[in-house]
Amino acid sequence: MTVAPPSSSGALRGGLFAFAAYLLWGFLPLYFLQLEPTGPWEVVAWRIALSFVFCLVLLTVLRAWGPFLTILRQPRLLGLTALAGVLIYVNWQTYLIGTLTGHVIETSLGYFINPIVTVLLGVTVLRERLRLVQWVAIGLSVVAVLVIVVGYGSFPWIALTLATSFGFYGLVKKQIGPSVDAVSGLTLESFWLLPVAAVQLVLVAATTGLTMGGHGIAHTALLAAAGVITAIPLLLFAAGARRAPLSLLGLIQFVAPILQFIIGVWVLNEPMTVERWIGFALVWLALVVLSVDSLVAARRRRTSISDVSEPV
């Protein structure tokens, strides 16, 4: 019996979808900075509410209410989407605080570290066994964080919160698997967060005041686009993840933090001390080690599968 090879054209399309998603994520700091003077708490609140509205429109246009209603009859999936919503909220809020307070470089560090956190979660939660090279990559990342803490004089809580929250978010999404499509998942995650968004809007209105509609048509349009800006990359990524091999996705994922790092250093002129350069260099070295190891392991698996599937 022979195993049909994956479609190369499908993999290419998947890679392009994923690349487009990470490209958009990479440029998000520039979009959010255009929303000033809107603060991070108000931006996230509108992001939640408008993402929910946009997803309702998508469910209608795509005629996807059937699968969505099926999910509503499964308590386990509802619980997992609620947990995913909490995790993505922590990620969004931390990211907006970092971006709008001059810490774009640190947000990029968080997404550089994310693959390392994912590997660690595989060990601690899924009880996976790591290869020696993977342990080396983790060790380099730990040293990198220590260098940044000691040399820069501050704990990179934004980076570590982003990496941890998105790592756990990915873990929960893996538990959900193909049972929840991208649009239904984002709809439910946004729905669970609507009370949080409402509370934040009330608090902002009572303190600094809401900015929606108060700073011109262009600002209002940009802020109103937060839902679309949130949903489109997620949908592109979902389309890419279904088609592209994991080895390709593992390499493409670095597009976003690289762009964020470039924006932070050379566009926004955020400070980059020697200690930070050393810390980032160690993280990049760890990622090179991890990526090469992943590619080698994937090639070995393909070879093994090919040997098993040879006709007898």
pLDDT digits over 235-292, tens only?
888 888 778 876 677 788 899 999 999 999 999 999 998 988 999 999 999 999 988 8
Asked if the structure places residue 76 within a domain, the reply is yes
Q: Give 135-149 pLDDT, tens digit per residue.
A: 999 999 989 988 888
The region, left, alpha or beta by phi > 0 then psi within -120 to 50, assigned to residue 213 is left
Q: Does residue 310 fall inside a structural domain?
A: no
Q: Could you say which DSSP state residue 266 is in?
A: I
Question: Quick one: pLDDT at residue 297?
Answer: 81
In this structure, is residue 298 part of a structural domain? yes
Each residue's pLDDT tens digit, 119-129: 888 888 878 88
> In the predicted model, what is the mean pLDDT of residues 89-117?
94
Amino acid present at 97: I
Q: Residue 197 and residue 212: Cα distance in Å, rounded?
A: 14
pLDDT of residue 264: 96
Closest CA relative to residue 44, chosen from 199, 197, 248: 197
In a domain, 311, yes or no: no
Letter for the amino acid at 291? S
- Expressed as residue numbers, the domain containing 154 is 8-303
Report which DSSP code applies to 267. Answer: I
Q: For residue 4, what pLDDT is reported?
A: 44
| Helix 255-262 / helix 8-33 crossing angle, nearest 10 deg | 30
In a domain, 2, yes or no: no
The pLDDT of residue 310 is 53
| Structural domain count, the chain | 1
Q: Where are the alpha helices (DSSP H) in 207-308?
A: 216-224, 226-243, 246-252, 255-262, 274-308
Amino acid identity, position 16: L
Q: How far apart are CA 71 and CA 252, in angstroms?
A: 31
Report DSSP letters for 156-170, one per residue: -HHHHHHHHHHHHHH
Assign 312 a pLDDT band (cuts: 50, 70, 90): very low
Tokens representing 295 are 């590619």
Question: Rounded mean pLDDT of 26-51?
Answer: 96
Any domain includes 57: yes
Asked whether the beta carbons of 309 and 1 are under 8 A apart, the reply is yes
DSSP 61: H
For residue 1, tell me if it sits in a domain.
no
* Whether residue 311 has pLDDT greater than 80: no
**Residue 280: partners with Cβ closer than 8 Å, 6 or more residues away:** 109, 112, 144, 261
